[in-house]
Amino acid sequence: MENDQLLKKSPIQAKKYYYLVEGLEFIVNLIVTIVLIFLWSHFHWWHFLIYIFIGLLILDLLYALIGPWIKYNYTYYRVNKDYIEIKRDFFFKKQEIVKFERTQFIEQKYNPMLKKLSLVKLSLVTAGHHVTFPLMHTEDAETFESTTFDYLRGADFDV
């Protein structure tokens, strides 16, 4: 359990990003539900469909409120000298460990909101895995990328 203290979380801007994305998705789902309710009333569909539409909208609202909090608080990562570890442990616990020597390339993904918050989605790709980090600061991602490539530079691994 003492190693869990070394695990890092995403920066606080990641929580803001998660809420923005879920809020936008909720708005889109709200528009779709309004169109479905209009079609329901215009074409006189079965009466119970309105309860299904409203129930799904309420579930989507609950997910938009709770989902980002769960993503932020229960996802961790750790970078050791020769491997990385990603841990997700809310309901189903998942732990991914990948050695640096297995790395084929590193992907950095941005979008306008991520750039505004100076965050990046970082993925490490090996022959058999695609490990996605929690959201990171761009400086942390560049540091991770440089340390990984320094580790791999001049190495003679038989993988």
pLDDT, mean over the chain? 90
Q: Of 95, 72, 86, whose CA–CA distance to 21 is shortest?
A: 72
Average pLDDT over residues 119-127: 92
What is the sign, positive or negative, of the torsion defined by CA atoms of 132, 135, 140, 141?
Answer: positive
Q: Which one of 72, 101, 126 terminates a domain?
A: 72
The type of residue at 130 is H
Per-residue confidence (pLDDT) for residue 152, from 0 to 100: 81
Average pLDDT over residues 114-123: 94
Per-residue confidence (pLDDT) for residue 157, from 0 to 100: 64
Whole-model pTM: value is: 0.85
Q: Is 7 exposed, middle or buried (0-12, 13-18, 19+ CB in 10 A)?
A: middle
Per-residue confidence (pLDDT) for residue 114, from 0 to 100: 94
Q: Which helix (H) or strand (E) holds 147?
A: helix 138-152
Q: Is the Cβ–Cβ distance between 131 and 122 less than 8 Å? A: no
Q: Which one of 72, 92, 114 terminates a domain?
A: 72
For residue 157, being part of any structural domain is answered with: no
Range of the domain at 27: 2-72
For residue 27, being part of any structural domain is answered with: yes
Q: Of 11, 2, 7, whose CA–CA distance to 97 is shortest?
A: 7
Q: Is residue 67 domain-shared with residue 82, that is, in the same domain?
A: no
Q: Is residue 67 domain-shared with residue 132, that is, in the same domain?
A: no
Q: Is the Cβ–Cβ distance between 92 and 59 less than 8 Å? A: no
Categorize the per-residue pLDDT at 1 as very low, low, confident or very high, splitting at 50, 70 and 90. Answer: very low
For residue 29, being part of any structural domain is answered with: yes
Q: Is the Cβ–Cβ distance between 40 and 57 less than 8 Å? A: no
Per-residue confidence (pLDDT) for residue 151, from 0 to 100: 81
Task: Give pLDDT tens digits for 15-52.
Answer: 999 999 999 999 999 999 999 999 999 998 899 999 99
pLDDT at 108 over 70: yes
pLDDT at 122 over 50: yes
List, as one string, the DSSP characters of 1-51.
-GGGGG-BPPPHHHHHHHHHHHHHHHHHHHHHHHHHHHHHHHHT--TTHHH
Percent of residues, the chain, with pLDDT higher than 70: 93
Report the number of distinct structural domains present in the chain: 2
Per-residue confidence (pLDDT) for residue 90, from 0 to 100: 87
